[in-house]
């Protein structure tokens, strides 16, 4: 049984580890967080994701998976650490990827395969990863060469939180090899659990494909958000307009919202702009989507303009970046809350999924007590089964602003609420 060492046990690394561990590989997962390592080895998933608790139980029982803080000699090394966005310089922060490469490099020997799953700018494997691995491999002595002595590929993930298991198994994958053999070796290991097609290409094309996919979606969302703002100006229902426009066989407009979050769509487009002067649409789309929390606040200020600004309480429903998950990475809710607090408003938060301590998370009744306006940032399913009348009875002013168009608005109106919807 071949051994895989996976560096990074986050939203991608841990699920990938468990899929390999339950499909014929011996896997050791590496993470610098000692508490996470201990918790995983006890059998506890560190985040909500359907299907993976069962896989963790299965892998631990079969002794094909364990977590550790220190890398080990293996046949295959897989790096799945985050690639944060350096907001000051608007470029990828590669320090986690670099440190992960340095941590595994001394353990690399002849015929080993190294796979980078982390999202990276074009050229990173050739210009950054290869020199580290060649200089530090072979017990730190170096001397081994990529292509000649060991293999390297980039296989970016294609999965979304909340549906990770299905998408990791069923989505098509792209594998970019530093050479053809690297690509084919990588394709073979992923075929152990991937049921979709696996396409092989060069490493640099694989690097840019992932960025192009998320940039396409970001630009589409920015267009929808601009449509929503125009709809507010001219007084039409953008949701109906988008639905009708999408009847055209070559049109597929996404939904508007309060901004874009997550570790991919809100971040990856910037990786294409850092070395390019040809990215005007990409940069503009990022600015439009990053500006949506400010637009949402401006709308709320119009809703509550007749109230005493010194005594205003706003309740945020949902701070996860998308519905029915606990992931708050790059959530537009954070920027909205900071802007609202800067205006002097008190902001309470209700989110049935999130446990992130950065937010003023409260039980439902405490979050809405004496509130002047509810703003729905996240489209959690739970928000459609709330006790609307009870909420209205303890609010100071019955206003609600639905930025996701996800509520039963008639139900709230019947309870006496003034309902405002983004783009409607």
CA dihedral 189, 268, 199, 166 (to 10 degrees): 60
Q: Do 205 and 239 lie in a common domain?
A: no
Q: Do 252 and 329 lie in a common domain?
A: yes
Q: Do 368 and 410 lie in a common domain?
A: yes
The Cα 119–Cα 265 span in angstroms is 11
Whether pTM exceeds 0.75: yes
Q: Do 260 and 343 lie in a common domain?
A: yes
Residue 126 phi, psi dihedral angles, 5° rounding: -70, -40
Q: Do 284 and 354 lie in a common domain?
A: yes
Specify the number of domains making up the chain.
2
Q: Do 64 and 22 lie in a common domain?
A: yes
Per-residue pLDDT of the chain (424 residues; tens, 9 = 90+): 899 999 999 999 999 999 999 999 999 999 999 999 999 999 999 998 999 999 999 999 999 999 999 999 999 999 999 999 888 888 899 999 999 999 999 999 999 999 999 999 999 999 999 999 999 998 888 999 999 999 999 999 988 888 999 999 999 999 999 999 999 999 999 999 999 999 999 999 999 999 999 999 999 999 999 999 999 999 999 999 999 999 999 999 999 999 999 888 999 999 998 878 888 999 999 999 999 999 999 999 999 998 887 899 999 999 999 999 999 999 999 999 999 999 999 999 999 999 988 898 999 999 999 999 999 999 999 999 999 999 999 999 999 999 999 999 999 999 999 999 999 9
* HEC readout, the chain: CCEEEEECCCCCHHHHHHHHHCCCCEEEEECCCHHHHHHHHCCCCCCCCCCHHHHHHHHHHHCCEEEECCCCCCCEEEECCCCCEECCCCEECCHHHHHHHHHHHHHCCCCCEEEECCCCCCCHHHHHHHHHHHHHCCCCCCCCCECCCEEEEECCCCCCCCCHHHHHHHCCEEEEECCHHHHHHHHHHHCCCCCCCEEEEEHHHHHHHHHHHHHHHHHHHHHHHHHHHHHHHHCCCHHHHHHHHCCCCCCCCCCCCCCCCCCCCCCHHHHHHCCCCCCHHHHHHHHHHHCHHHHHHHHHHHHCCCCCHHHCEEEEECCCCCCCCCCCCCCHHHHHHHHHHHCCCEEEEECCCCCCCCCCECCHHHHHCCCCEEEECCCCHHHHHCCHHHHHHHCCCCEEEECCCCCCHHHHHHCCCEEEECCC
Q: Do 254 and 318 lie in a common domain?
A: yes
Do the domain assignments include residue 93?
Answer: yes
Marked catalytic residue, from 187, 210, 398, 420: 210
Marked catalytic residue, from 5, 137, 264, 373: 264
CB 361, CB 350: distance < 8 Å:
yes
Place of tokens 């400010």: 294
The Cα 73–Cα 198 span in angstroms is 27
The boundaries of the domain holding residue 110 are 3-210
Q: How far is CA 209 from CA 94, 155, 157, 202, 254, in A?
A: 18, 10, 11, 11, 20
Give pLDDT, residue 147.
Answer: 94
Do the domain assignments include residue 230?
Answer: no
CB 138, CB 116: distance < 8 Å:
no
Give pLDDT, residue 308.
Answer: 83
- Residue 346 pairs in a beta bridge with 313
Q: Do 191 and 314 lie in a common domain?
A: no
Give pLDDT, residue 48.
Answer: 85
The Cα 303–Cα 83 span in angstroms is 39
Q: Do 172 and 316 lie in a common domain?
A: no
Give pLDDT, residue 416.
Answer: 98
Of the candidates 411, 370, 406, 366, the residue with the CA atom closest to the CA atom of residue 387: 411
CB 373, CB 347: distance < 8 Å:
no
Q: Do 17 and 145 lie in a common domain?
A: yes
Do the domain assignments include residue 291?
Answer: yes
369 catalytic? Reply is no
Do the domain assignments include residue 302?
Answer: yes
Give pLDDT, residue 72.
Answer: 96
Do the domain assignments include residue 223?
Answer: no
Do the domain assignments include residue 217?
Answer: no
Give pLDDT, residue 274.
Answer: 84
Q: Do 250 and 375 lie in a common domain?
A: yes
Give pLDDT, residue 276.
Answer: 84
Of the candidates 80, 81, 96, the residue with the CA atom closest to the CA atom of residue 20: 80
Give pLDDT, residue 199.
Answer: 98
Give pLDDT, residue 382.
Answer: 97
Do the domain assignments include residue 184?
Answer: yes
For the domain that residue 250 is a member of, what is the CATH number? 3.40.50.720
Q: Which of 194, 210, 226 is the last residue of a domain?
A: 210
Q: Do 132 and 256 lie in a common domain?
A: no
Q: How far is CA 315 from CA 65, 102, 232, 346, in A?
A: 43, 45, 23, 8
365 catalytic? Reply is no
The encoded tokens of residue 237 equal 């229902």
């Amino acid at each position: 049984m071949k051994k895989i060492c996976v560096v990074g046990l986050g939203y991608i690394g841990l699920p990938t580890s468990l899929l390999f561990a339950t499909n014929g590989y011996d896997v050791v997962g590496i993470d610098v967080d000692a508490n996470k390592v201990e918790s995983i080895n006890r059998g506890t998933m560190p985040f909500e994701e359907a299907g993976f608790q069962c896989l963790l139980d299965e892998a631990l029982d079969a002794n094909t998976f364990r977590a550790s803080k220190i890398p080990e000699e293996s046949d295959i090394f897989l790096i799945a650490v985050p690639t944060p966005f350096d907001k000051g310089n608007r470029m990828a922060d590669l320090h986690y990827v670099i440190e992960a490469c340095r941590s595994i490099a001394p353990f690399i020997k002849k015929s080993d395969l190294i796979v980078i799953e982390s999202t990276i700018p074009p050229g990173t494997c050739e210009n950054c990863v290869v020199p580290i691995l060649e200089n530090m491999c072979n017990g730190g002595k170096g001397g081994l060469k990529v292509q000649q002595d060991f293999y390297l590929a980039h296989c970016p993930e294609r999965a979304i939180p909340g549906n990770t298991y299905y998408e990791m198994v069923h989505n098509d994958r792209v594998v970019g090899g530093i050479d053809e053999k690297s690509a084919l070796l990588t394709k073979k290991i992923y075929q152990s659990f991937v049921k979709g097609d696996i396409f092989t290409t060069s490493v640099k094309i694989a690097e840019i494909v992932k960025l192009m996919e998320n940039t396409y979606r970001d630009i589409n969302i920015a267009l929808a958000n601009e449509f929503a703002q125009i709809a507010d100006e001219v007084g039409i229902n953008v949701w109906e307009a988008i639905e009708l426009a999408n009847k055209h066989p070559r049109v597929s407009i996404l939904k508007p919202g309060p901004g874009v979050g997550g570790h991919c769509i809100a971040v990856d487009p910037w990786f294409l702009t850092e070395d390019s002067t040809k990215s005007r649409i990409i940069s503009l789309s990022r600015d439009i989507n990053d500006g949506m929390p400010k637009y949402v606040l401006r709308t709320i200020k119009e809703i509550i303009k007749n109230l005493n600004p010194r005594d205003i309480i706003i309740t945020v429903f949902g701070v996860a970046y998308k519905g029915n998950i606990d992931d708050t990475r790059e959530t537009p809710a954070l920027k909205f809350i900071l802007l609202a607090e800067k205006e002097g408003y008190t902001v309470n938060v209700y989110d049935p999924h999130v446990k992130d301590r950065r937010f003023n998370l409260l039980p439902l009744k405490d979050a809405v007590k004496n509130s002047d306006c509810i703003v729905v940032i996240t489209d959690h399913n739970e928000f459609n089964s709330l006790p609307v009348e009870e909420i209205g009875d303890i609010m100071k002013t019955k206003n609600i602003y639905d930025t996701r168009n996800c509520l039963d608005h008639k139900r709230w109106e019947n309870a006496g609420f003034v309902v405002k919807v983004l783009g409607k």
